[in-house]
Amino acid sequence: MISEETGRLVSVQRRFFQSGATKSLDFRRDQLSALKKTLLEHEEDIFEALHQDLRRPVTESFFGETLFVINELDDALRNLSRWARPQRTATPLMMYPGQSVIYTEPYGVTLIIGPWNYPFQLILAPLIGAIAAGNCAILKPSELSVHTSALIKSMLGGIFEPYYVAVVEGEKDVAGALLQERFDYIFHTGSTSIGRVVMEAAARHLTPVTLELGGKSPCIVDRNLHMDSAVRRIVWGKFFNAGQTCVAPDYLLVKKELRDDVISGLLSSIKTFYGENPAESPDYSRIINSRHINRLSALLGEGKILCGGQFEEDSLYFAPTLIDEVTWESPCMQEEIFGPLLPILYYDSIEEAIDTVNRGQKPLALYLFTEDEDIQNRVIRETSSGGICINDTIVHIGTSHLPFGGVGESGMGAYHGKATFDTFSHKKSVMRRSLTPDPPFRYPPYQKLTGVFRSIMATLIR
């Protein structure tokens, strides 16, 4: 039954796309404007839904969700004509008279699968790009963030007809049924394990994908830094949304000589931000469900807990936790933490830190705290990650001017700003030529094309 419904939905969207209505720039602008208007009207409802799902403070919901989405909408509305304009490119002399142009065209019917940790931003931001590029879209929000998912369905249902943009709620069986269908593009944000499932399903139809995944993002702390600012920014980026951020610092790599100062600063910042008892702080989020509480508690098996470690399954509270004296064999170092646990490891030289990072899977983000430009350049040059942020955490994903995406097991493809438009657009190369002149030397018999003449032509065609 579910598969029949999803099949019909994909079919009606494909028919609407084939009508050509979505390709009009005026149509795209109208849809983006309507979306912006609705989001602004429902901003308080969005904050309330996020609070119900994650007990997210309004400030974090504003900066982490609605502000980013509105900025993406403004960027798309402001630049759509320029992004969609055909691009002239060079034509080799051999092909004159001729003209080479790159056109952008929409893929067609797209599937966007969203996660629960930022359930509003991480499904709306890809949708903006899909609409701007001229596609139809089916959205599958997470079944775990139930209040936000229901609100998204209600809001978008009031703007868009389902034959254009549809929101499909449900459990894993619904996602599975959708993945059985043939889409023209799939955009998935979530875990690496589910990313593999999505990619396997897409491969059956040779459907292109963008996978925004995760991994263990390291945070290197070296000399020549402003310690107070550094520890504040680390604590803020790690415990924002209770650590349930794909680019949160997953573990610290601290230069040994800085150990005491870093730990002291981290402990002080946690207390300053969240008080003596973070469970009573209005500025500290909750874990999404009890399964993840149990998953996180299982990671506490080794190491010395410097602060935190407390959790309450009923209230979904898990304290901001620092763990010292861990090894690479410790449970917390075996998987992406995706929660408010911060293990601390140490190194003697930057060469050792770089080697440590390179021994693992390529992370989604890498953080480095130092004012030493030589060390900054070495880390940029000698490591591979989805992105790097120097002397801050997580803020690099908040700009429309930097593409955001992973590499290796942390994902493939990128988005934000124009990169989202490009992700949902096929680049179609077009060459226009005249039928005259039509020199005979390009045609057989080729014996008349001497070696010297072939060399000249090879030079001209480059």
104-155 pLDDT per residue, tens? 999 999 999 999 999 999 999 999 999 999 999 999 999 999 999 999 999 9
| Structure tokens given for 247 | 């680019």
Looking at the structure, tell me whether residues 162 and 241 fall in a common domain: no
Residue 454 lies in a domain: no
Catalytic residue among 136, 246, 332, 389: 246
Residue 436 lies in a domain: no
Task: Give the pLDDT band (50/70/90) at residue 93.
Answer: confident
Residue 177 lies in a domain: yes
Contact 110, 138 (CB under 8 A): yes
Looking at the structure, tell me whether residues 57 and 114 fall in a common domain: yes
Looking at the structure, tell me whether residues 173 and 241 fall in a common domain: no
In the prediction, which pLDDT does 440 show?
79
Looking at the structure, tell me whether residues 132 and 41 fall in a common domain: yes
Domain boundary among 405, 438, 456: 405
Residue 145 lies in a domain: yes
**For residue 451, is pLDDT > 70?**
no
In the prediction, which pLDDT does 438 show?
86
Contact 343, 216 (CB under 8 A): no
In the prediction, which pLDDT does 301 show?
85
Higher pLDDT, 107 or 96: 107
Looking at the structure, tell me whether residues 272 and 346 fall in a common domain: yes
Looking at the structure, tell me whether residues 209 and 333 fall in a common domain: no
**For residue 386, is pLDDT > 60?**
yes
Paired strand residues for 220: 253, 368
Looking at the structure, tell me whether residues 174 and 93 fall in a common domain: yes
In the prediction, which pLDDT does 450 show?
62
Catalytic residue among 65, 212, 336, 409: 212
Name the residue range of residue 143's domain: 2-213+413-426
Residue 452 lies in a domain: no
Q: What is the mean pLDDT of the chain?
A: 95
CATH code, domain carrying 304? 3.40.309.10
Task: Give the pLDDT band (50/70/90) at residue 401.
Answer: very high
Looking at the structure, tell me whether residues 137 and 18 fall in a common domain: yes
Burial pattern 115-146, b for ≥16 Cβ within 10 A else e, equals: bbbbbbbbbbbbbbbbbbbbbbbbbbbbebbb
Distance of CA 81 to the CA centre of its chain: 25
Residue 325 lies in a domain: yes
Assess whether 212 carries a catalytic annotation. yes
Total domains present in the chain: 2
Residue 445 lies in a domain: no
Contact 389, 398 (CB under 8 A): no
Task: Give the pLDDT band (50/70/90) at residue 453.
Answer: low
Task: Give the pLDDT band (50/70/90) at residue 462.
Answer: low
Looking at the structure, tell me whether residues 186 and 287 fall in a common domain: no
In the prediction, which pLDDT does 394 show?
97
Instruction: Give tens-digit pLDDT for 335-351.
Output: 999 999 999 999 999 99
Looking at the structure, tell me whether residues 67 and 83 fall in a common domain: yes
CATH code, domain carrying 138? 3.40.605.10
In the prediction, which pLDDT does 1 show?
57
Phi then psi dihedrals of residue 36, to 5 deg: -60, -45
Task: Give the pLDDT band (50/70/90) at residue 293.
Answer: very high
Q: How far apart are CA 14 and CA 28, in angstroms?
A: 17
Instruction: Give tens-digit pLDDT for 234-278.
Output: 999 999 999 999 999 999 999 999 999 999 999 999 999 999 999
Q: How far apart are CA 117 and CA 95, in angstroms?
A: 53
Instruction: Give tens-digit pLDDT for 8-41.
Output: 999 999 999 999 999 999 999 999 999 999 999 9
- Look-up: residue for tokens 């969240």? 274
Looking at the structure, tell me whether residues 174 and 238 fall in a common domain: no
The pTM of the full predicted model, rounded to 2 decimals, is: 0.94
User: Helices 192-204 and 172-180 sit at what angle, rounded to 10 degrees?
Assistant: 30
Cβ of 256: how many Cβ atoms within 10 Å? 10
Q: How far apart are CA 21 and CA 24, in angstroms?
A: 6
- Look-up: residue for tokens 């610290």? 252
Assess whether 351 carries a catalytic annotation. no
Task: Give the pLDDT band (50/70/90) at residue 456.
Answer: low
In the prediction, which pLDDT does 444 show?
84
In the prediction, which pLDDT does 18 show?
97
Residue 399 lies in a domain: yes
Q: How far apart are CA 55 and CA 49, in angstroms?
A: 9
**For residue 455, is pLDDT > 90?**
no
In the prediction, which pLDDT does 303 show?
94
Q: How far apart are CA 166 and CA 454, in angstroms?
A: 57
In the prediction, which pLDDT does 454 show?
66
Provide mean pLDDT across the span 410-434.
96
**For residue 457, is pLDDT > 80?**
no
In the prediction, which pLDDT does 445 show?
78
**Parallel/antiparallel/unpaired status of strands 311-312 and 317-318:** antiparallel
Looking at the structure, tell me whether residues 232 and 207 fall in a common domain: no
Distance of CA 269 to the CA centre of its chain: 28
